[in-house]
């Protein structure tokens, strides 16, 4: 496993997204997945307070008991846990962090991320609260998610000298969603931010298990109603073309999806969910294809 940097953190190039914990798998299954990830060299675990209705953090914390020193734990706040627990006001930032620390049963969060911009709170106020958490030793690094390039620039301007600043941004990015290349990835270069892609497999469409004209496997993420936006006719056609491209080079679509993202220098870790140890091991092994310039040019042609 290769490792890259998010601020002062060294994270595995493949990370484990924990949004299935408490939603699609229980605590025992989550523990098996986490232990398989550690055994495969994965040290980066990304969760959020809202995942699994707060159960994801609890399950991750239990699974890491006795192995915390081997893990880089990232979590998020800001989306609504309920009507009282949401947003990015300074007083809530502190409460949200303490709640996550309790659920995770750890004494510090390695990467604490604002899950989405809060239009009602100046970013300088949120950054001030996050800086307080860093100075208190509760958080090591801070990041953001679902931010535009303009919002990243605004946050950089608002960060006070010597205070904590965002070191990462987590946005959707995959072979089927290349929008970050327009302005967000250049902003990462300009500001020295690590990029963390979510939905790297387009919610399962890029695993290679989906077959056109057939329903998604019953146990797959694509079988969930909210994933229908991924299975448009255009996306299915592109995925099939990419699958054929990979097969012609003796690789799988899964390997292509991971290795293509890993070829982006801004990407620090490709975060993908898993519901079984077998999926974890497949994900961990999927970044070993070094794509040539010719390969990348052909992929550009296939994914306009």
State the 10-residue block means of pLDDT for the chain, 304 residues long.
97 98 97 98 98 97 97 97 95 98 98 98 98 98 98 97 97 97 98 97 89 65 64 92 97 98 98 96 96 97 92
Number of domains in the chain: 1
Q: Does a structural domain hold residue 224?
A: no
Residue 195: predicted pLDDT:
98
Q: CA 75 to CA 138: how far, in whole Å?
A: 12
The Cα-based distances of 206 to 26, 285, 293, 304 in angstroms read 25, 15, 21, 16
φ, ψ at 160 (rounded to 5°): -80, 150
Q: Does a structural domain hold residue 212?
A: no
Q: CA 42 to CA 171: how far, in whole Å?
A: 20
Q: Which two tokens stand for residue 91?
A: 């007083």
Q: Does a structural domain hold residue 43?
A: yes
Neighbours of 122 (CB within 10 A): 13
DSSP-derived 3-state class of residue 191: helix
* Domain containing residue 138: 3-201+264-288
Q: Does a structural domain hold residue 134?
A: yes
What's the whole-model pTM score?
A: 0.93
Residue 108: predicted pLDDT:
98
Q: Does a structural domain hold residue 207?
A: no
CATH number at residue 279: 3.20.20.100
Q: Does a structural domain hold residue 37?
A: yes
HEC profile for 165-177?
A: CEEEEEEECECCE
In the numeric block, the tokens 């892609």 are attached to 197
Residue 220: predicted pLDDT:
58
CA angle 36, 38, 44 (to 5 degrees): 120
β-bridge pairing 194-198 and 109-114: unpaired
In the numeric block, the tokens 């609504």 are attached to 80
Residue 209: predicted pLDDT:
81
Residue 213: predicted pLDDT:
65
Q: Does a structural domain hold residue 293?
A: no
Catalytic residue among 51, 92, 112, 173: 51
Residue 10: predicted pLDDT:
98
Q: CA 212 to CA 99: how far, in whole Å?
A: 43
Is 51 a known active-site residue?
Answer: yes
Q: Does a structural domain hold residue 105?
A: yes
Burial 132-143 (b: 16+ CB within 10 A, else e): bbbeeebbbbbb
């Amino acid at each position: 496993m290769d490792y890259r940097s998010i601020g002062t953190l060294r994270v595995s190039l493949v990370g484990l997204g924990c949004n299935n914990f408490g939603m699609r798998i229980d605590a025992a299954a989550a523990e098996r997945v986490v232990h398989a990830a550690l055994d495969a060299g994965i040290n980066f675990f990304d969760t959020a307070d809202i995942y699994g209705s707060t159960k994801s953090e609890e399950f991750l914390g239990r699974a890491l008991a006795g192995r915390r020193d081997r893990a880089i734990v990232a979590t998020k706040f800001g989306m609504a846990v309920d009507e009282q627990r949401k947003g990015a006001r300074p007083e809530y930032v502190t409460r949200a962090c303490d709640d996550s620390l309790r659920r995770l049963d750890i004494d510090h969060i390695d990467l604490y991320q604002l899950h989405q911009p809060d239009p009602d709170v100046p970013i300088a106020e949120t950054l001030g609260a996050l800086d307080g958490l860093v100075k208190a030793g509760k958080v090591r690094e801070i990041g953001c998610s679902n931010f535009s390039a303009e919002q990243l620039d605004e946050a950089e301007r608002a960060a006070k000298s010597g205070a904590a600043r965002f070191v990462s941004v987590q946005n959707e990015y995959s072979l089927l969603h290349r929008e970050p290349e327009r302005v967000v990835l250049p902003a990462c270069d300009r500001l020295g931010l690590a990029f963390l892609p979510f939905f790297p497999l387009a919610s399962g469409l890029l695993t290679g298990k989906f077959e056109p004209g057939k329903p998604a496997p019953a146990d797959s993420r694509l079988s969930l109603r909210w994933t229908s936006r991924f299975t448009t006719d255009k996306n299915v056609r592109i995925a099939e073309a990419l699958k054929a491209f990979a097969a012609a080079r003796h690789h799988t679509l899964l390997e292509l999806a991971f290795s293509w993202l890993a070829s982006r220098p801004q990407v620090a870790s490709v975060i993908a969910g898993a519901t079984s140890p077998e999926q974890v091991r497949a994900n961990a092994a999927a970044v070993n294809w070094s794509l040539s310039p010719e390969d990348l040019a052909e992929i550009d042609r296939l994914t306009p």
